[in-house]
Amino acid sequence: MLPETCGSSLFLALPDDVFSIISRSLSPRDICNLSLCCKSLRPVVDSEKIWLSQCDVVGILPARDLVEWRQGVSSYKALCRFLVRVKPLVGIWVHQNPELGNVVYVMPGFVSVVGCRIIPQELGPLGIEDGPILWAPVFEIIGDLYGSTTFLLHGREQGSDYFYPGSVESVERNCNVLLLEVEPREKGNGRKLFPNKNFANHSNEDISRKVCRSNIGLSSSQQVLGQSEAVIPFSQLAFGDRRKLLETITGQVRKKVSDSVSGPLFPRLREDVENFQKDVLLLLLQRRSLLLQMYRFGSDHDCTDLKASNEMPGCPTELELNDIRKSFDRSSSCSNSLNGDDGQTHGNNRKSIGGYFRTSIKQILRKSGSVNGGRAVSKFNSSSSEYRHAQLHEFLKSGDTIGLTLQASKVKLSSYRAWPNMHDTRFALYKLPMWVPREDQEYAGLWGGTFGWPPGRPTEDKPGKALFFLLLSYEETEGKRLLIATKILEGTHYVLHPNGSAMFIVNIDEPSLDPFPWDSDADSHPVNVKQALMGEGIANGYGFRYPGSKPGSLFIIQNGLLAFIWKESRAVLTLQRLNLQELLKKGERVPALPPIPNFSYLTKSYSNVFTGFSNTSTCSSSSLRQKHI
């Protein structure tokens, strides 16, 4: 096709800056397809300015940060590929257990995204803005030279920090569940995380998967095994088998965190200019390079140019199934420390890989006579527990190796007042919907606060104030427009209110005539109340899981504070809008949990489990704090 007829001459005549502005209205897929229309357009489409503009459109990073991230990738196109893939992960993820924790915020790191657990805690006299927020690392997803993804789970065992490398199997655009799983793979294919180097081919591959109904629910490496062979998803295994496989994988692929990779996961705030430049140019870039080398070669020593060789050694993130099967005969004993299939085990003792699989084979043989040749049967065909789940040996037949994977999926979830109803036996985190404030819903979003007035001020009998995170959302019920404050984090020592409960609900169309009880704030400035609304606040009425409510009023104060006051008790909960990313950047890092509970702690608990693993009595204890470098 001639340039005059295809219109490419018009684009070629445009200055790069102008075409870069025009390209902001196109998607990465559109730009790749444009390069396929005419060969003469390829140099224009591959321009760094075009892909820098696309990186900016993704919206994860401000433009000034993109320049630093560019140092770690081959091009802005590669950076855009990474940003597009991880964007759905950024946000707040939760689990219902334990009641005091499991709020994980995923935020940008350095050519990476980092999952950070917010530790239940009390705040001192400095309050939320100036007091350090305690957090622990959960996982990292790092972009390599070409924009492909690398998954590293964090955990702590026997007083040492470890990485547990794996792969990112899939990230759906509107994902709401993050799953930690084990996946069988064909040898040599398990590392193909992003096989195609342009967005157009990758998108076509995604489309073809959607067309093929038989592939629904299967990962890409499972699909390459062929349509004729039945593939068993990890989720169809019994809970005990899933837990044991995860324990086996994490116990074998773990890498101890050395001093060379123990640095910061993300840069400091830019206000600290000197330290910010030091973090970006030295520590963060060096740490990322060492982590990628560790992921690829199993070691962070003898640094090798990652671009130099196409020969891949044995993958340090996978286990050979042949070796595992051989361990059946070598094993002579088995640990009896597991608590069955309920998964509620608290011990951290490692089970031998041979002993575990020896036990599994015995269970399989006992059941094989009644399972019709050992094939998995539908869990809906029988009420007997032994027929409800797929068999472990059938799952392991699907590949030559097994490895740790992270999957971000879109599933149908019910919810109550913005809190999702969760599965009790899935190693999963659930994404909370975040409403962008607008003119008719200006208070939507994440808020943090404490009880008492002035906000956060300690008293003689209470030196610290419990930190609460609330998600404010709007709902219309029976013609009433409601503002609902859903609790997602509580900083007490023993939980007082269940996760997902409404701390207060107000009718935004019903003014309150109650006066605000105080005339001044913490700085002795006069309090200017903009608006007061009638509502109800949580109270002990029907038990822990189904609390009652008592009348109160929400006061909207001029300086950006919200204060809900219970009418009878005069208790006051004061809130301020949070920028969680900034708080974490100036927060303090504390030790993580063991790897699997660190991802999602499935054991029901009403006390602070995060202090128990650190052998401390309180989150504010100095022994729990590990200064963020």
- What is the C-alpha to C-alpha distance for residues 462 and 376, in angstroms, rounded to an integer? 58
Residue 240 pLDDT > 60: yes
User: Which of 37-41, 116-120, 191-195, 225-229 has the weakest average pLDDT?
Assistant: 191-195
- Torsional class of 619: left (φ above 0), alpha (ψ -120 to 50), beta (otherwise): alpha
pLDDT > 90 in the chain, percent: 39
* Buried b / exposed e along 594-626 (16+ C-beta atoms within 10 A): bbbbbbbbbeebeebbbbebbebeebbeeebbe
What is the pLDDT confidence band of residue 395, given thresholds at 50, 70 and 90? confident
Angle (nearest 5°) at CA 405 between 400 and 406: 160
Which helix (H) or strand (E) segment is 93 a member of? strand 91-94
Q: What is the pLDDT of residue 200?
A: 45
Q: What is the pLDDT of residue 178?
A: 97
- What is the C-alpha to C-alpha distance for residues 489 and 2, in angstroms, rounded to an integer? 62
Residue 194 structure tokens: 């992003």
SS3 625: coil
Residue 87 structure tokens: 């964007």
Instruction: Between 348 and 133, name the one with better pLDDT.
Output: 133
Q: What is the pLDDT of residue 87?
A: 96
Q: What backbone phi and psi angles, to 5 degrees, belong to 89?
A: -85, -20
Instruction: Between 343 and 277, name the one with better pLDDT.
Output: 277
Q: What is the pLDDT of residue 481?
A: 93
For the chain, the structural domain boundaries read 3-85, 437-582
- What is the C-alpha to C-alpha distance for residues 340 and 240, in angstroms, rounded to an integer? 7
619 DSSP assignment: T
Please, are residues 107 and 90 in contact by the beta-carbon 8 Å criterion? Answer: yes
Q: Is the peptide bond before 98 cis (omega within 30 degrees of 0)?
A: yes
Please, are residues 409 and 170 in contact by the beta-carbon 8 Å criterion? Answer: yes
Which helix (H) or strand (E) segment is 156 a member of? strand 149-157
What is the pLDDT confidence band of residue 308, given thresholds at 50, 70 and 90? very low
Residue 168 pLDDT > 60: yes
pLDDT > 70 in the chain, percent: 69
Q: What is the pLDDT of residue 345?
A: 38
- What is the C-alpha to C-alpha distance for residues 392 and 248, in angstroms, rounded to an integer? 14
Residue 274 pLDDT > 70: no
Q: What is the pTM for the complete model shown?
A: 0.80
- What is the C-alpha to C-alpha distance for residues 207 and 146, in angstroms, rounded to an integer? 23
Q: Name the burial class of residue 440, with classes exposed (0-12), middle (13-18) and buried (19+) by CB atoms within 10 angstroms of its CB.
A: exposed
Q: For 341-371, what is each residue's pLDDT tens digit?
A: 344 334 444 444 455 555 554 554 444 433 3
- What is the C-alpha to C-alpha distance for residues 88 and 176, in angstroms, rounded to an integer? 9
Instruction: Between 412 and 39, name the one with better pLDDT.
Output: 412
- Torsional class of 452: left (φ above 0), alpha (ψ -120 to 50), beta (otherwise): left
Q: What is the pLDDT of residue 538?
A: 94
Q: What is the pLDDT of residue 267?
A: 86
What is the pLDDT confidence band of residue 623, given thresholds at 50, 70 and 90? very low
- What is the C-alpha to C-alpha distance for residues 486 and 417, in angstroms, rounded to an integer? 7
Q: For 408-431, what is each residue's pLDDT tens digit?
A: 999 998 888 778 889 888 999 999
The Cβ of residue 119 has, within 10 Å, a number of other Cβ atoms equal to 27
Per-residue pLDDT, averaged over 264-268, amounts to 87
Rg (CA), the chain: 27
Please, are residues 11 and 67 in contact by the beta-carbon 8 Å criterion? Answer: no
The Cβ of residue 208 has, within 10 Å, a number of other Cβ atoms equal to 10
Q: For 521-555, what is each residue's pLDDT tens digit?
A: 877 888 999 999 999 999 987 767 778 899 999 99
Per-residue pLDDT, averaged over 425-443, amounts to 90
Q: What is the pLDDT of residue 398?
A: 78
Residue 347 structure tokens: 């011990």
Please, are residues 263 and 287 in contact by the beta-carbon 8 Å criterion? Answer: yes
The Cβ of residue 503 has, within 10 Å, a number of other Cβ atoms equal to 21
Q: For 43-98, what is each residue's pLDDT tens digit?
A: 777 889 889 999 999 999 998 899 989 999 999 999 999 999 999 999 999 998 88
- What is the C-alpha to C-alpha distance for residues 369 and 213, in angstroms, rounded to an integer? 32
Q: What is the pLDDT of residue 204?
A: 39
Instruction: Between 34 and 222, name the one with better pLDDT.
Output: 34
438 DSSP assignment: B
Terminal-to-terminal C-alpha distance of the chain: 58
CA-nearest of 523, 490, 530, 579 to 105 is 579
What is the pLDDT confidence band of residue 460, given thresholds at 50, 70 and 90? low
- Torsional class of 237: left (φ above 0), alpha (ψ -120 to 50), beta (otherwise): beta
User: Which of 107-111, 408-412, 557-561 has the weakest average pLDDT?
Assistant: 557-561
Instruction: Between 465 and 510, name the one with better pLDDT.
Output: 510
User: Which of 303-307, 316-320, 434-438 has the weakest average pLDDT?
Assistant: 303-307
Per-residue pLDDT, averaged over 234-262, amounts to 90
* Alpha helices by DSSP H, 179-225: 199-211, 220-223
Q: What is the pLDDT of residue 29?
A: 83
What is the pLDDT confidence band of residue 321, given thresholds at 50, 70 and 90? low
Instruction: Between 155 and 364, name the one with better pLDDT.
Output: 155
Q: What is the pLDDT of residue 331?
A: 38
What is the pLDDT confidence band of residue 232, given thresholds at 50, 70 and 90? confident
